[in-house]
């Protein structure tokens, strides 16, 4: 297909988003907001019983590709991660395995991340945790965000929790970050004046060109996306969304980025870890 086709497709997508934004401006007072139950527990706009993984919005061929680990392209990164896991790095001369044991010992970790780290007094996702281990414990240089080695290690770790229920903690010291993430999720942004919630809570199930809008859950990341023809992190997907509404995305590893990921993980509570998931 020629360049003109893709320019036309991008224009059509922008028109759809503009129309969505315009249709929501007049009804913003009626937009659903995450609530608080009588016990003071946050509740999502989409009831827990109606939460749907992005897997359910995929074609049968994509679902089959994801579930068959012998044909799932994301498993190439799992294999690469296993090699890096046992490789000594930095001035310490230690590998990940020297401290943590075999990758299987990481079972359950991804299901509870992002997590508040009391010692560092910050929220960590798998990316920033790996980076801290490298720089502080291994005495190695940090890996470049979205680099193959970082994606391989985080995919390996997340894959160990395959099939486990997402269950992040948002209480105690993690609560301010959660509330910040909730605010960012519901905040209109960019020239198109759209929020995450307007697409993934108020408009899920509707069509955006050839795609059906999902509920925007991150339980399969890192994922292999056919559009990218490679594996990518949740931050890459968030960046794409921000740029689609013509807004500046939060920097990788920033407080806003991690707060938003924590909120997204909470929204996915009860869904299964699918890493590496396969999407369009």
Distance between CA 257 and CA 12 in Å, rounded?
A: 29
Contact at 8 Å (CB) between 251 and 88?
no
Would you name the residues annotated as active-site residues?
241
Any idea what the Cα angle at residue 15 is, between residues 13 and 20, rounded to 5°? 95
Contact at 8 Å (CB) between 156 and 81?
yes
Distance between CA 167 and CA 111 in Å, rounded?
A: 6
Sorted by where each begins, the domain ranges of the chain are 50-280
Sign of CA dihedral 182, 185, 187, 190: positive
Residue 134: DSSP 8-state: I
**pLDDT for position 15:** 46
**pLDDT for position 6:** 43
Name the nearest CA neighbour of 250 among 171, 203, 180: 180
CATH H-level superfamily of 50-280: Cytochrome c-like domain (1.10.760.10)
Distance between CA 71 and CA 64 in Å, rounded?
A: 9
Sign of CA dihedral 64, 44, 236, 220: negative
Distance between CA 177 and CA 127 in Å, rounded?
A: 17
Distance between CA 30 and CA 252 in Å, rounded?
A: 33
**pLDDT for position 12:** 47
Distance between CA 224 and CA 278 in Å, rounded?
A: 5
pTM: 0.86
Distance between CA 83 and CA 40 in Å, rounded?
A: 45
pLDDT digits (tens, 9 = 90+) for 102-157: 999 999 999 999 999 999 899 999 999 999 999 999 999 999 999 999 999 999 99
Give the containing element (helix H, strand E) for 11.
helix 3-25
Q: Please give, one letter per residue, the 3-state secondary structure of 38-63.
A: CCCCEECCCCHHHCCCHHHHCCHHHH
Phi, psi for residue 117 in degrees, rounded to 5? -105, 110
Q: What is the DSSP string of 213-270?
A: P-----TT-SEEETTTTEEE-HHHHHHHHHHHTT-PPPPTT-HHHHHHHHHHHHHTTT
Distance between CA 189 and CA 249 in Å, rounded?
A: 10
Which position has the token pair 């229920």? Answer: 165
Contact at 8 Å (CB) between 10 and 17?
no
**pLDDT for position 41:** 81
Residues of the chain below pLDDT 50? 1-3, 5-12, 15-16, 18-19, 21-33
pLDDT digits (tens, 9 = 90+) for 29-41: 344 445 766 566 8
End-to-end alpha-carbon separation of the chain, Å?
18
What is the signed CA dihedral for 256, 262, 30, 203, rounded to 10 degrees?
100
């Amino acid at each position: 297909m020629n360049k003109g086709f893709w320019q036309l497709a991008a224009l059509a997508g922008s028109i759809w988003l503009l129309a969505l934004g315009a249709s929501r401006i007049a009804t913003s007072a009626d937009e659903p907001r995450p609530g608080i139950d009588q016990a003071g527990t946050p509740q999502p706009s989409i009831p827990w019983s109606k939460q749907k993984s992005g897997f359910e919005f995929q074609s049968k061929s994509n679902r089959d590709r994801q579930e068959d680990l012998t044909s799932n392209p994301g498993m190439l990164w799992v294999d690469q991660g296993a090699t890096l896991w046992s490789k000594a790095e930095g001035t310490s001369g230690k590998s990940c395995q020297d401290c943590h044991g075999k990758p299987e010992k990481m079972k359950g970790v991804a299901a509870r991340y992002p997590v508040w780290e009391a010692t560092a007094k910050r929220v960590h996702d798998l990316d920033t945790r790996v980076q801290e281990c490298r720089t502080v414990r291994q005495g190695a240089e940090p890996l470049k965000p979205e680099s193959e080695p970082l994606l391989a290690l985080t995919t390996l770790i997340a894959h160990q929790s395959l099939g486990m229920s997402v269950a992040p903690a948002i209480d105690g010291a993690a609560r301010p970050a959660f509330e910040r993430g909730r605010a960012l999720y519901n905040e209109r942004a960019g020239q198109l004046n759209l929020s995450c919630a307007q697409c993934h809570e108020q408009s899920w199930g509707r069509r955006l060109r050839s795609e059906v809008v999902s509920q925007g859950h991150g339980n399969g990341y890192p994922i292999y996306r056919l559009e990218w023809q490679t594996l990518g992190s949740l931050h890459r997907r968030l960046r794409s969304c921000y740029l689609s509404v013509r807004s500046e995305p939060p920097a990788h590893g920033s407080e806003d980025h991690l707060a938003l990921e924590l909120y997204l993980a909470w929204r996915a509570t009860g869904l299964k870890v699918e890493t590496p998931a396969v999407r369009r």
